[in-house]
Chain A
Amino acid sequence: MGYQLSREQFDQFLDRLKDKYSVFGPVVDVDRGNYSDTDRITYREIHRFDDLELNRKSYFSPKEIFYPIREVLFQFAGGEARVPALDDKKIAILLRPCDINGIDRLDTLFLENGPEPDFYYRRRRERVRFFMIECATGFESCWCVAMNANRTDRYDVAFRFGEKILADVKSDEFSSYFAPLPQQPFDVRFVQQNARQVRVPKVADVTADLFEHELWQEYTARCIACGRCNTSCITCSCFTMQDVAFGTDRQMGERRRRWAGCQIEGFTDMAGGHKFRGKNGEKLRFKAMHKVNDYHRRFGKHQCVGCGRCDDVCPQYISFARCINTLSDVIEKRKRK
């Protein structure tokens, strides 16, 4: 059902949600960009329409709202392990279709891979609701269409933000908030074509001999293994366990998990010193294959959703979009031979 709201009515909607929901959206962190006098667009709890930044892409994805950078799994005391409680407030996130599709990729990994769902991911994820920001044009560095991640109907409410705001309310959970408002039919638009053209290789065409191809050597020379591409990615899900002890007798402690990334040094290190993929080009090859090949072989859809944040954040100006195209070029050339 479609409705029309003024910005004041949108603010009233946010006010009425406050008892049960924390609402998150992209905001401007003034002067917190990587360079002096630049802003950072990031996800924060919002309270009014004016908090939102809708014209620039967020540097980080919204995943940390429900998959924290560092999360306590157990608190230890007296030789017993306790699972921390969560408050039962729900979380509504204002986000674009690519990110909703990205969260689908996280869901598949955490909830479907392995023998059972991830307890900690699931208990937060169940509280999440999607307020989709209509995204009809995307940004300069996006390639969502190539990844088939430009569209989704998995939202609770979709918004078109302008002087007037249009809302498409899909979920009954929110219908009562909109019922008093004037109805206005609203067909959500999606990105049809990106400025950046990315050609994703067919899964069947990616063969093991490409692992040794010289195309990866360029990245050994350029990549500094900082992991920004991992931490900004909506679909990167890897983590490492980390135990800490405290108290005068070190009898209290925590087991946490924290984000980890295949692009970061130490990801494969085993006790005793053995490691795999020591060269940074090998790390990037592993990441590239996971994003646009391996994940598809396992789950039937690409992991990468083409949000383009990895290209936005790389301090070495490495473009993953270009990497995918280079890989496709190599495959095409080989086919012609």
Chain B
Amino acid sequence: MKNPYLMDKIEILEVVPETAIDRTYTLAWDKPLKPGQFLQLSIPGVGEAPISVSDFEDGKLFMTIRRVGRLTDALFALKAGDHLFARGPYGNGFEYGDYVGSALKVIAGGTGLAPVKKVIKHFWRSDRLTGLEVLLGFKTPEDILYEREIQAWVDSGIATLTVDTGDAQWRGNTGLITRYIATLNLDNLEGSRFIVVGPPIMIKFVTLELLKLKVPEGNIWVSFERKMSCGIGKCGHCKIDETYVCLEGPVFRYPKAKRLLD
């Protein structure tokens, strides 16, 4: 009988600081993955938690982890060469095929960028879309993740970066991400696809704005975050209505997502 709670022992290949409280961990990994999926990451005796995969390539994956609790405190004490435990991947993830041939617009707030970063990288400079635009919002300049990659996206003309509140050195855009939705090319809404990821309140107001602009509901995808203890439909924490976010999500098309009322 298979024990789905058994973990694999995984080597940490690299740790890169992103902000004062976020780091990106490169982990040795050779199982198939889809963008937007998550792993149950753990340190024995400390705890286990669901963490999004932010990127992957041959033999490795990347996870951006914020120091917010007991497990992540312990994770931050680990360095390259150390091991941690993981099981998964879990969740449906984003399907590239849903966006091929469309004008894709990704709207990401804060760490919400992590689960969708691979999608952006996958389609950037590819000819499989009719257009790619990225809107990125962070609270302050200190909270910006993946600075070099974001700068490259901005320089190439696909991305707009804003912070809610700037500081003395900040020369870029300021203001909530909803203010910049109007800067997107909204000429062909039928041929456009929108991915909205971020904190629940940001998802709510961005999707409201999109609907006001008459974006068809079926052209919007969101990704949910919930507490999860198992990832396999048993523990009950992520259930909304008859839906298990760990099984049918965390990525939902808006017509389904709007019916998921907590």
Contacts and interface: CB of A to CB of B under 8 A. Distances in A.
Interface in B101-133: none
A113 B244 contact: yes
B199 interface: yes
B45 A252 contact: yes
Decide if the interface of chain A is mainly helix, strand, loop or mixed: mixed
Contact of B235 (A116, A240, A271): A240
Interface string A75-99: 0100101010000000000000000
A83 B45 contact: no
B1 A239 contact: no
A218 interface: no
Interface stretch (B5-13, B154-162, B175-183, B206-214): B5-13
A161 interface: no
Contacts, number: 136
A240 B234 CA distance: 10
A122 B1 contact: yes
A254 interface: yes
Given A119-B3, A120-B5, A262-B236, A243 B227 contact: no
A260 B66 CA distance: 25
Given A294-B242, A295-B242, A211 B235 contact: no
Interface string A227-264: 00000000001111111111000111111010010100
Contact of A272 (B2, B66, B226): B66
A121 B4 CA distance: 12
A117 B6 CA distance: 13
A81 B241 contact: no
A114 interface: yes
Contacts of B237: 238, 240, 260, 267-268
Decide if the interface of chain B is mainly helix, strand, loop or mixed: loop
B60 interface: no
Interface in A15-68: none
Interface string A119-162: 11111000000000000000000000000000000000000000
A170 interface: no
Nearest to B66: A272
Contacts of B59: none
Interface stretch (B30-38, B46-54, B163-171): B46-54
B44 A238 contact: no
A244 B45 CA distance: 5
A114 B235 CA distance: 11
Nearest to A289: B241
Contact of B234 (A113, A254, A295): A113
B77 interface: no
Nearest to A253: B45
Given A123-B1, A239-B229, A289-B241, A81 B262 contact: no
